């Protein structure tokens, strides 16, 4: 068993709703409704069970609700106030160490992306670096909105999975 998370599954199952929301309320960026949904499906078998429940929550949302989930994510490489999780993830991907030219390019891509799709570009920063982020945003600008919504939600699932594994011991 890996003990890289903060809590065992037994400890997670003992949390009350407020404690659970405090810990898991940002698994999906600033989305306590998702945490409430998952909490109501206790007891949890393991970290994978919690991951599947967050994914199920995302999959049951309407297109408009999925777009709202995406709109909670900060622009990559921006200087806006971010959650601690987003700050760590973007730092790890080198988004705060971009050259001035790359930062300007990313800001341009972020603007074009948001104008085109109506939500920010979302990618799992922990599975990328600044170069791959720039490549992906440029490439994904060519998608239609339906394709991009699906891709973006899959990226949110990757982010959520890693955040859950940071919180819960897993094997």
Q: One of 49, 73, 116, 170 is an active-site residue; which one?
A: 73
Q: How far apart are CA 106 and CA 98, in angstroms?
A: 9
Query: Among residues 20, 17, 18, 52, which one has the least CA distance to residue 167?
Result: 20
Q: How far apart are CA 24 and CA 163, in angstroms?
A: 9
Considering only CA atoms, which of 50, 54, 22 is closest in space to residue 170? Answer: 50
Is 73 an annotated catalytic residue? yes
The distance from CA 124 to its chain's CA centroid, rounded to whole angstroms, is 7
**109 contacts 121 by C-beta, under 8 angstroms:** yes
Active site residues: 73
């Amino acid at each position: 068993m890996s003990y890289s998370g903060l809590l065992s599954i037994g400890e997670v199952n003992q949390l009350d709703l407020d404690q659970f929301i405090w810990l898991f309320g940002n698994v999906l960026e600033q989305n306590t409704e998702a945490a409430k949904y998952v909490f109501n499906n206790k007891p949890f078998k393991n970290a994978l069970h919690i991951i599947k429940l967050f994914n199920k929550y995302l999959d049951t949302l309407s297109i408009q609700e999925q777009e709202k989930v995406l709109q909670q994510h900060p622009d990559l490489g921006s200087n806006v106030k971010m959650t601690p999780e987003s700050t760590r993830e973007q730092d790890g991907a080198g988004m705060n160490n971009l050259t001035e030219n790359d930062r300007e390019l990313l800001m341009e891509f972020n603007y074009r992306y948001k104008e085109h799709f109506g939500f920010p570009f979302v990618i799992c920063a922990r599975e990328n670096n600044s170069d791959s982020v720039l490549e992906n945003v440029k490439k994904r600008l060519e998608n239609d909105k339906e394709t991009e919504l699906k891709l973006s939600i899959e990226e949110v699932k990757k982010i959520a999975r890693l955040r859950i594994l940071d919180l819960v011991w897993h094997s």
